[in-house]
Amino acid sequence: MTQYFNEMYHGGKVRAPYARLEDWMNAMPAELRTLKQAEAEELFRRIGITFAVYGEGGDPDRLIPFDMFPRVFTGGEWAKLERGIKQRARALNAFLMDVYGRGEIVRAGRIPARLVYQNDAYEKAVAGIKPPKGVYSHIVGIDIVRTGPEDFFVLEDNCRTPSGVSYMLENREIMMRMFPDLFRGNRIEPVDRYPEMLRRTLASVAPQKCSREPTIVLLTPGPFNSAYYEHSFLADLMGIELVEGQDLFVEGEFVWMRTTEGPKRVDVIYRRIDDAFIDPLCFRPDSTLGVPGLMDVYRSGGVSICSAPGAGVADDKAVYTFVPEMVRFYLGEEPILQNVPTWQCGKRDDLGYVLDNLGDLVVKEVHGSGGYGMLVGPKATKAEVEHFRAKVTSDPGNYIAQPTLALSTTPTFVAEGVAPRHVDLRPYCLVGERIELVPGALTRVALTEGSLVVNSSQGGGVKDTWVLAE
Amino acid sequence: MLLSVDHVTRYSYDQPVRAVMQSHRLTPSVFDGQKVVNWKVTVSDGIQGGSFRDGAGDRVQSWTVKGPVSEIEVRVHGTVETTDLAGLLRGHRELVPPEVYLVNSPPTTADAALIALAEASRDAEGSLATAHRVAAAVADAIAYRPGATHAHTTAAEALALGEGVCQDHAHALIACARVLGLPARYVSGYLFATADGSAHEAAHAWGEVFIAGLGWVGFDPANRCCPDERYIRLGSGSDAQDAAPIRGTARGLGEESLDVTVAVQNLQQ
């Protein structure tokens, strides 16, 4: 029987950061809790924050479940996490600058050339580009799990367009509205600086050709995208325009936005559309979501694209294995945050081990995300395991495997009262002129008892995440 | 040779179009085998956009035409001094590592027939000899016949058909080289058609294979040779679309028709 670290109760005692929450929990009668839960749901529905679940059909405006029980970190715990996250974000960006430049890390034999240069996410089109401040990935979402009081592991990196930050902000907003007393009694670090911090980060990477206050826009694929709410929410909070491809056009050396007062030059594009769709002249010719000619403007220094096309080569699950090596190679430091041990099914020895131990491992597709195409060995049926055995055997290079981690739990409101449920953590690190992050993150919780899959697309929920002031 | 190029591409639309956007790779590559004497590209009603040298060493220049227009003319005129380097791309500055050109796109994805053709071309003497044999095998297997294939024909389809044009030859060469683990890419450029009156188009395409120790080496299966002083190299890509000298889009419902004339002359006759 695996022992899971409970972030509230440990060694028969309530851990210090949760002390006040125990009183709060005990003082809340069941009727009040039901009432509050309904109120929270009503608030979320009114704000319009929903999450469409890919491939499952059903109600696209389904609410992502919100759990009212906050997750809490001490200032000390957070300080260490913050150092580790920033270190990783720095290393990932150094890696991107390098592999689109001289490729020193490959020449030094520290990562196989094949993994980088034959990677689907490697974009030949950006080779040689030196983006402003040397940043390719401006918003780095790093998924972290905890297995003990001092034990944190990075599960994966997201260097392209990590989503979910609107939940971090809304969860806090709603908790403060529903339980103002909680916030009077606890000194909780605020997270509401995030939009301004993001705006400042984007402004700091304006292209050299921009010699005035930069015009920043958020480029969305449109209302049919599952994260559209977040796109409009962030644009609104940052006070920038939310645009679709058709609102922008290229003329001469620059990108322009159509406005009622005529064309306005755009300097920085925070894009929430995938590389392949961003410019039909450079990538998929059939894409209607992007802006024809955008890449030529970008490559000649007329506009900044955040994150840069091609940034995904750093967050691939096979490249992930080498991130600690990147930290050592580029920064000359030891990694503060550890990786989860990972087997590359593309390696013969690793493949043998994985196939022999499928029932105990988590197997993921190298390019998968959102919890799709993933096997959780201990929770899978025999048929599912065999199905994966066939998939992995036929295309080993497309899979990696990791041990099933004993994800920590935090108390969560469930039908029967309060019970431990597994959680993970996604902080959002901003990289521009400076590297910074707000003291807070998105906590995802697997609401099904015993489940280790926290993805919202797989029925996970979210929690407010507190960092206590020291 | 001292080669002069006159290349005119005329786009006609049956209804006017707006916001025409083009990305050009229409400037001769810089390497030891060719030296630009003069070169000029113009686009009717065009606004010149940013220009840069990309990671593969190609000069990229974008253009916009606001419109509405019913016709656009892209005119290339210039003179290049060329030297025969037996296909070697010597002195070419580029950053993209050769491994990138092992990745296939649909037109270069090998089927069983291409794999068989590649495997039969292995030569014990090494990569260079192998690449020569691949080029010869492709030339034997795909007869030159204009009109037999179209812009989106894949290497596998052309091989099955047994006929094609330079684009199909280049795709087949690339597909086979990659099967054998040799990085390969598509090159677009111009060819000075020889005095014997052979029918090959002056707007031409061929392939390059990366040979360890030598670097990139050109192979032209269509003409059963390696590029020499009759060739002008413009740019490269992983396939024909990626290496296209002109990529463009336009807004509007106008149906596009294309008229291309290319004349390459030897000024030292």
Please write the tens of the pLDDT for every residue from B201-257: 689 999 999 999 999 999 999 999 999 999 999 999 999 999 999 999 988 888 899
**Kind plus residue range of the DSSP H or E element containing A305:** strand A304-306
Q: Using the CB atoms, write b or e for A309-321: b if 16+ within 10 Å.
A: bbbbbbbbbbbbb
Partner-chain residue, chosen from B64, B103, B238, that has the shortest CB–CB distance to A252:
B64
User: For chain B, what percent of residues have pLDDT higher than 90?
Assistant: 92
Range among A253-262, A315-324, A443-452 rated most confident: A253-262
Residue A121: its chain B contacts at CB < 8 A? Answer: none
CA distance B181 to chain A (A): 12
A122/B21 Cβ within 8 A: no
**Tens of pLDDT, residues A347-370:** 899 999 999 999 999 998 887 665
B50/A281 Cβ within 8 A: no
β partners of residue A363 = A375, A401
Partner-chain residue, chosen from B48, B54, B99, that has the shortest CB–CB distance to A128:
B54
SS3 A18: helix
CB-based contact, B105 to chain A, within 8 Å: no
**Domain ranges within chain A, ordered by starting residue:** 9-207+303-335+406-467, 342-403
**Token code pair at residue A264:** 């306005």
Residue B243: its chain A contacts at CB < 8 A? Answer: none
Given a cut of 60, is residue B199 above it in pLDDT? no
Partner-chain residue, chosen from A100, A249, A300, that has the shortest CB–CB distance to B50:
A300
Partner-chain residue, chosen from A122, A253, A282, that has the shortest CB–CB distance to B50:
A253
Residue B48: its chain A contacts at CB < 8 A? Answer: 252
Given a cut of 70, is residue A60 above it in pLDDT? no
B23/A281 Cβ within 8 A: yes
- Which chain B residue shows the shortest CA-CA distance from A101? B95
- Which chain A residue shows the shortest CA-CA distance from B98? A117
A117/B100 Cβ within 8 A: yes
Residue B95: its chain A contacts at CB < 8 A? Answer: 101-102, 127-128
Q: B127-141 and B166-179 helices cross at what angle (nearest 10)?
A: 140
Residue B256's contacts (CB-CB under 8 Å, 6 or more residues apart) are B11, B12, B13, B17, B250
**Tens of pLDDT, residues B25-51:** 999 999 999 999 999 999 999 999 999
Partner-chain residue, chosen from B48, B62, B66, that has the shortest CB–CB distance to A293:
B62
Residue A103: its chain B contacts at CB < 8 A? Answer: 97
- Give the C-alpha separation, A412 to A418, whole Å: 5
Given a cut of 60, is residue A59 above it in pLDDT? no
B19/A280 Cβ within 8 A: no
Partner-chain residue, chosen from A118, A129, A299, that has the shortest CB–CB distance to B99:
A118
Mean pLDDT confidence for B56-81: 96
Given a cut of 70, is residue B113 above it in pLDDT? yes
CA distance B199 to chain A (A): 31
Residue A113: its chain B contacts at CB < 8 A? Answer: 97, 99
CB-based contact, B87 to chain A, within 8 Å: no
- Give the C-alpha separation, B133 to B267, whole Å: 34
Mean pLDDT confidence for A287-295: 91
CB-based contact, B194 to chain A, within 8 Å: no
User: What is the amino acid identity at position A64?
Assistant: I
Residue A61's pLDDT is what?
56
Given a cut of 60, is residue B195 above it in pLDDT? no
List residues of chain A with CB under 8 Å from any CB of chain B: 100-103, 106, 113-114, 117-118, 122, 124-129, 249-253, 280-282, 285, 292-293, 296-297, 299-302
A125/B54 Cβ within 8 A: yes
CA distance B267 to chain A (A): 35
Residue B3's pLDDT is what?
96
Mean pLDDT of chain A: 91
User: For chain A, what percent of residues have pLDDT higher than 90?
Assistant: 75
Is the separation of the CB atoms in A197 and A438 below 8 Å?
Answer: yes
Radius of gyration of chain B (CA): 18
B102/A292 Cβ within 8 A: no
Residue B53: its chain A contacts at CB < 8 A? Answer: 128
- Give the C-alpha separation, A344 to A361, whole Å: 13
- Which chain B residue shows the shortest CA-CA distance from A112? B99
- Give the residue from A97, A117, A279 with the most B CB atoms within 10 Å of its CB, the best one to mutate: A117
CB-based contact, B212 to chain A, within 8 Å: no
B247/A300 Cβ within 8 A: no
CB-based contact, B241 to chain A, within 8 Å: yes
Mean pLDDT confidence for A106-129: 95
**Tens of pLDDT, residues A142-200:** 999 999 999 999 999 999 999 889 999 999 999 999 999 999 878 999 999 999 999 99
Partner-chain residue, chosen from B52, B64, B97, that has the shortest CB–CB distance to A299:
B52
Predicted ipTM of the assembly: 0.94
- Which chain A residue shows the shortest CA-CA distance from B100? A117
**Tens of pLDDT, residues A386-395:** 999 999 999 9
- Give the C-alpha separation, A405 to A402, whole Å: 8
* CATH 3.30.2020.30, domain A342-403, yes or no: no
Mean pLDDT confidence for B72-84: 97
Structural domains present in chain B = 2-82+246-266 (2.60.40.2250), 98-237 (3.10.620.30)
A128/B55 Cβ within 8 A: yes
In this complex, how many residue pairs, one in chain A and one in chain B, have their CB atoms less than 8 Å apart? 93
- Which chain A residue shows the shortest CA-CA distance from B247? A281
Residue B88 DSSP one-character state: B
CB-based contact, B109 to chain A, within 8 Å: no
A297/B54 Cβ within 8 A: no
Residue A55's pLDDT is what?
39
- Give the C-alpha separation, A383 to A389, whole Å: 10
- Which chain A residue shows the shortest CA-CA distance from B66? A251
